Amino acid sequence: MKKILCIYGLPAAGKTTQAELIGKKYNFKQFGMGDRLRAEVQSGSELGQTVKKFLDAGALITDDLMEQVIRSSDVVADSDGVIFDGFPRIISQAAMLEKVTKDLGLDFVGYFYLNVKPDTAISRIKARAELTHRPDDEDPKVVRNRMDVFAKESIALIEHYKNMGKLIEIDGEQSIEEVFAEIEKHL
């Protein structure tokens, strides 16, 4: 049975970096929700145009749209598993992902929470914006909204996985190599 794991944390906590490292070493396909959403927008599809409205506002995408995005991509092709990067973010998305995971025949390994301080995240976002010019990183109001959304809606999800015994909290303030070593202890 193919495996699934989720990596989560504040914007710029290092989720994508760690997902790439895990993917390369363990032959897991990375599903970067943010990247996948931006790709859907760039495709010009009707789904992409709907997603764009949410991204432009820095708001969470609805569960229905997330499910459509997941199902429209081949998440299990040519790999030993899937790493969801930055997803799920709220309990209703976790329930939806559990349903999709079951439908696709995947085994849930764990929910890795990369814990970084908000100041660290903001500093990293500013540095990333200078390199990538991502619109959602360049607008301070959108960045602040993303941070506020995390604080308001995501903390309950962390508790949810903790209560399930599936939460693996990692100190995201460490170096990339140290964070990866901590993650590997649980794989």
Supply the pLDDT for residue 72: 78
Q: Closest Cα to residue 154, out of 93, 100, 95, 110?
A: 93
Q: How many angstroms separate the CA atoms of 79 and 86, rounded?
A: 19
- pLDDT score for 36: 86
Cα–Cα distance for residue pair 6/167, rounded to 1 Å:
10
3-state secondary structure 99-159: HHHHHHCEEEEEEEEEECCHHHHHHHHHHHHHHHCCHHHHCHHHHHHHHHHHHHHHHHHHH
Of all residues in the chain, the percent with pLDDT exceeding 70 is 99
Mean pLDDT of 108-124: 95
Task: Tell whether the model's pLDDT for residue 172 goes beyond 90.
Answer: yes
Q: Above 80 in pLDDT, residue 34?
A: no
Q: For residues 32 and 95, which has the higher predicted lDDT (pLDDT)?
A: 95
> DSSP secondary-structure letter at 78?
T
Query: Mean pLDDT across the chain, nearest whole number?
Result: 90
48-93 pLDDT, tens digit each: 999 999 888 888 788 999 898 888 777 767 889 899 988 898 899 9
Q: Does domain 2-181 have CATH number 1.10.287.3510?
A: no
Predicted confidence band of residue 17 (pLDDT cuts 50, 70, 90) = very high
Residue 59: CB atoms within 10 A of its CB come to 13
Q: What are the residue ranges spanned by the domains of the chain? A: 2-181
- The structure tokens 């930055």 sit at 86
Q: What is the pLDDT of residue 105?
A: 84
